[in-house]
């Protein structure tokens, strides 16, 4: 089961990259095929925003192949990063019916909770299936050691629970497709 | 397939009742078992808000039996009616995994679009599956004749499309349950 | 300067009452005239939702007199309590131009952060001026001792900062009114 | 009174540019000093997201000078354009206390209503004062003639009402500043 991880910030020094790497490790442990889709590699220049760009085409291939998506994103001023929104806006019908799980990241105590609320609205109306189970990575700057290992043990369980719900939906929704075919 | 319709306003003179009756008619035409769950009949007194009240018990029975939910609700000041929120807050895990479709109602031109955005957040975190397909009933005061028949023909098609997506999800999600059992 | 505190939950055993009492104490220390407007005393029966009810009339008097509002409210399922929304929906133009500060309450770690996001949308479109400064009361069940005294010292400073911003806006906005008259 | 207009989309063929030009014309008629701040001219490259970039510095100068802001933005998938969010995220305390009015644009019938809801949350927590009065430009592709003149007369009145509320807040809030100094 291929469920890639969208890393939603392009900022230099982004802590969310550590979270994405942690989630990738957990996804692979969980038996998934996964990879990080880094928003840095899917950015448009200035006015080049057609849905037929090279970036859009490469992103499309991955989304079409995916049985679900994980989004790892920080919260900027209570919303999602602009570069994440620009990337999501490149596609439309490709998302339809795919479950999506969101991991919020912040340097404060809310772990991206408000960003997740806004992102959920976007996802529903892109006809994705956002799961109610989320993981909030709070005080991310203190959460990983110098080797990128997570210091709070409880995140291992949270990640597993999150992946359990997400893959449960992925299976259910693909079972529906099999039944129809 | 039992998919009841929650009528989310208790106000006297509510126009949303006409919309709920229209959707009930369409649901039955579509082959569904349905009924209107009127928030007027599930209201708590003052501080009586336990999850074990008679109202909560009756609502719970219906939700547990349902393979999906339709919510018909007006928008009040960009949000959902308080009485609808009080009713939804009576239950929790009973909603899990059920698809929900929202019909927005307003006297203006937006057909409850902003209420739907807020309600979608509530539904996702109650672990429901809100569908991206919605129906907006705008200028509702002019939309029905004196017999309650809808005057704009296009709503018949919109309702059918909405019910198609909603029942599609209901089937898919129950297929998942069958496959697991 | 009269700035009352709306207590937005009617539930039995509500912890938010302790928060409202704490904020009342701080408001009085701050030199404000204040009181708790308890949603329990402003609730409508069933379909009695006209804007001319006795409850609406009493609430209206207080809002018209107020130079600002504080809302203390828990978060239920990522949204605001229904009874709070029903109360706010009783009035409309009376709110116009008044600053409002929101204190979120929760038993978890987010202190009502997501409820605040939804409530801010309601307040802006009721033409209030919601301030960006908020106070989040997290793990409220552990926050007060048996005498209702707050155990975390930092909340005294947070409340003062919040009241400073709120009264700053109240003064500025009334200065505007004086200038016009 | 300097109130510039932020044009929030960089897409080729953007219809919102016509709306921004219309609003600029109305603002000047209204006696304001104004100009269009085009997001195309304030875009960051890849990972260059520091708050000290040349773009950030130029944007900062304008915001500091402004007594209020107008944002003209389309709605993409129920949210704001990514490039607008990236631009807003360049600054922080510079926005504090400034009134902001939002004009929503869409090719459908909702005139950006849902984007406005999300943007209001961002603005409040950037400590701006978003006004409840908004202008929704629906079916924008049919709204202007080939010379860029608006075809629906009512928008002239709507724009004037919007500017009246926005400048009223700008005056009131600066009156507060004068009174303090």
Residue D173 pLDDT greater than 60, yes or no: yes
- pLDDT in the model for residue D43: 81
State the smallest CA–CA distance between residue C11 and chain A in angstroms: 25
What's the Rg (C-alpha) of chain B?
16
Partners of residue B79 on adjacent β-strands: B76
| Contact state of C171 with D172 under an 8 Å Cβ cutoff | no
Contact residues, chain A, for C109 at CB < 8 Å: 109-110, 138
Give the count of Cβ contacts less than 8 A between chain A and B.
Answer: 54
Exposed, middle or buried, A171 (CB in 10 Å: 0-12/13-18/19+)? Answer: middle
CA D57 – CA A129 distance, rounded (Å)? 40
Residue C12 pLDDT greater than 80, yes or no: yes
- Residue among D78, D81, D86 whose CB faces A122 most closely: D78
Q: Minimal CA–CA distance to D45: which of D56, D37, D61?
A: D56
Q: Give residue for tokens 């978003």.
A: D130
Kindly report the average pLDDT of chain C as a whole number: 93
Contact residues, chain C, for B78 at CB < 8 Å: 121-122, 125
Q: Minimal CA–CA distance to C163: which of C13, C30, C67?
A: C30
Cβ atoms of B115 and B84 closer than 8 Å:
no
Task: Write the pLDDT tens digit of every residue in B55-82.
Answer: 899 999 999 999 999 999 999 999 999 9
- b (16+ CB within 10 A) / e for B132-161: bbbbbbbebeebbeeeeebeeeebeebbee
State the smallest CA–CA distance between residue D110 and chain B in angstroms: 6
Q: What is the mean pLDDT of residues A129-145?
A: 97
State the smallest CA–CA distance between residue A181 and chain B in angstroms: 12
State the smallest CA–CA distance between residue B9 and chain A in angstroms: 23
Q: What is the mean pLDDT of residues A160-168?
A: 98
- Tell me the whole-structure pTM to 2 decimals: 0.96
- What six digits make up the tokens of A166? 């997400």
- What are the backbone dihedrals phi and psi of residue A130, each rounded to the nearest 5 degrees, phi first? -70, 135
Smallest CA–CA distance from C167 into chain D, residue: D176
Q: At what angle do helices C113-125 and B113-125 cross, to 10 degrees?
A: 170
Q: How confident is the model at residue C51 (pLDDT cuts 50, 70, 90)?
A: confident
Q: 3-state DSSP call for residue D102?
A: strand
- What are the backbone dihedrals phi and psi of residue B112, each rounded to the nearest 5 degrees, phi first? 75, 20
Contact residues, chain D, for C168 at CB < 8 Å: 176
DSSP strands (E only) in chain A: 5-7, 36-38, 69-74, 99-105, 129-130, 135-137
Cβ atoms of B135 and B125 closer than 8 Å:
no
State the smallest CA–CA distance between residue B170 and chain A in angstroms: 10
ipTM: 0.94
On the CB side of B61, CA atoms within 13 Å amount to 8
Residue A50 pLDDT greater than 80, yes or no: no
A neighbour chains, 3+ CB pairs within 8 Å: B, C, D
CA A58 – CA D176 distance, rounded (Å)? 53
| Contact state of C10 with B78 under an 8 Å Cβ cutoff | no
> What percent of chain D has pLDDT above 90?
87
Q: 3-state DSSP call for residue C57?
A: helix
- pLDDT in the model for residue A51: 73
Contact residues, chain B, for A133 at CB < 8 Å: 127
Contact residues, chain B, for D114 at CB < 8 Å: 113-114, 117
CA C170 – CA C166 distance, rounded (Å)? 6
Residue C27 pLDDT greater than 90, yes or no: yes
* Element (DSSP H or E) covering residue D39: none
Q: How confident is the model at residue D175 (pLDDT cuts 50, 70, 90)?
A: confident
| Contact state of B83 with C82 under an 8 Å Cβ cutoff | yes
Task: Write the pLDDT tens digit of every residue in B104-119.
Answer: 999 999 999 999 999 9
User: How far does CA C79 lie from the centroid of its chain?
Assistant: 15
Q: How confident is the model at residue D49 (pLDDT cuts 50, 70, 90)?
A: low
CA A165 – CA D161 distance, rounded (Å)? 49
Contact residues, chain B, for C118 at CB < 8 Å: 79, 118, 121
First to last CA, chain D: 19
D neighbour chains, 3+ CB pairs within 8 Å: A, B, C
CA D150 – CA C163 distance, rounded (Å)? 45
Task: Give me the torsion for CA of B13, B15, B19, B21, rounded to 10°.
Answer: 20
Q: Give residue for tokens 């439309």.
A: A92
- Residue among A78, A109, A117 whose CB faces C109 most closely: A109
- pLDDT in the model for residue B181: 46
Partners of residue D144 on adjacent β-strands: D150
- pLDDT in the model for residue C178: 55
CA D26 – CA D137 distance, rounded (Å)? 15
Q: What is the mean pLDDT of residues D55-69?
A: 95
- Residue among B117, B131, B177 whose CB faces A121 most closely: B117
Contact residues, chain A, for B126 at CB < 8 Å: 132
Q: Minimal CA–CA distance to A16: which of A157, A162, A138, A113?
A: A138
Tell me the CATH class for D5-180. Answer: alpha beta
Number of H helices, E strands in chain B: 5, 6
Helices (H), chain B: 16-29, 54-65, 82-88, 113-125, 154-180
- What six digits make up the tokens of C56? 């609406």
Smallest CA–CA distance from D121 into chain A, residue: A78
Lowest-confidence region among A22-26, C139-143, D47-51:
D47-51
- What six digits make up the tokens of C174? 């009334």
Q: Minimal CA–CA distance to D67: which of D152, D129, D154, D160?
A: D129
> What percent of chain A has pLDDT above 90?
87
Q: How long is chain B? A: 181
Q: What is the mean pLDDT of residues C21-35?
A: 98
- pLDDT in the model for residue C181: 46
Q: How confident is the model at residue A181 (pLDDT cuts 50, 70, 90)?
A: very low
Q: Give residue for tokens 């291992």.
A: A156
Task: Give me the torsion for CA of C113, C119, C121, C127, rounded to 10°.
Answer: -140
Partners of residue A37 on adjacent β-strands: A6
Cβ atoms of A101 and A68 closer than 8 Å:
yes
User: How far does CA D45 lie from the centroid of its chain?
Assistant: 23
Residue D150 pLDDT greater than 70, yes or no: yes
- pLDDT in the model for residue A53: 85
- What are the backbone dihedrals phi and psi of residue A150, each rounded to the nearest 5 degrees, phi first? -75, 140
Strand-strand pairing, B5-7 and A135-137? unpaired
Q: How confident is the model at residue A177 (pLDDT cuts 50, 70, 90)?
A: low
CA A87 – CA D131 distance, rounded (Å)? 30
> What percent of chain C has pLDDT above 70?
93
CA pseudo-torsion sign B134, B139, B140, B146? negative
Q: Which residues of chain B have pLDDT under 70?
A: 45-50, 176-181
User: How far does CA D69 lie from the centroid of its chain?
Assistant: 6
Helices (H), D30-153: 54-65, 82-88, 113-125
C neighbour chains, 3+ CB pairs within 8 Å: A, B, D
């Amino acid at each position: 089961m291929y469920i890639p991880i969208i890393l939603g910030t392009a900022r230099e020094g982004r802590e969310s990259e550590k979270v994405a790497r942690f989630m990738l490790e957990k996804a692979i442990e969980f038996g998934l095929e996964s990879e990080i889709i880094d928003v840095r590699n899917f950015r448009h220049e200035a006015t080049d925003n057609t849905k037929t760009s090279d970036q859009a085409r490469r992103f499309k291939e991955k989304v079409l192949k995916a049985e679900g998506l994980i989004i790892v994103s920080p919260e900027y001023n209570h919303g999602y990063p602009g570069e994440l929104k620009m990337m999501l806006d490149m596609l439309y019908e490709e998302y339809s019916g795919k479950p999506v799980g969101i991991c919020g990241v912040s340097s404060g105590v809310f772990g991206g909770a408000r960003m997740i609320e806004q992102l959920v609205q976007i996802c529903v109306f892109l006809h994705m299936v956002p799961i109610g189970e989320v993981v909030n990575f709070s005080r991310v700057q203190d959460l990983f050691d110098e080797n990128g290992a997570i210091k709070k043990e409880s995140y291992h369980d949270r990640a597993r629970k999150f992946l359990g719900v997400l893959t449960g939906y992925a299976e259910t929704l693909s079972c529906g497709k099999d039944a129809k075919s």
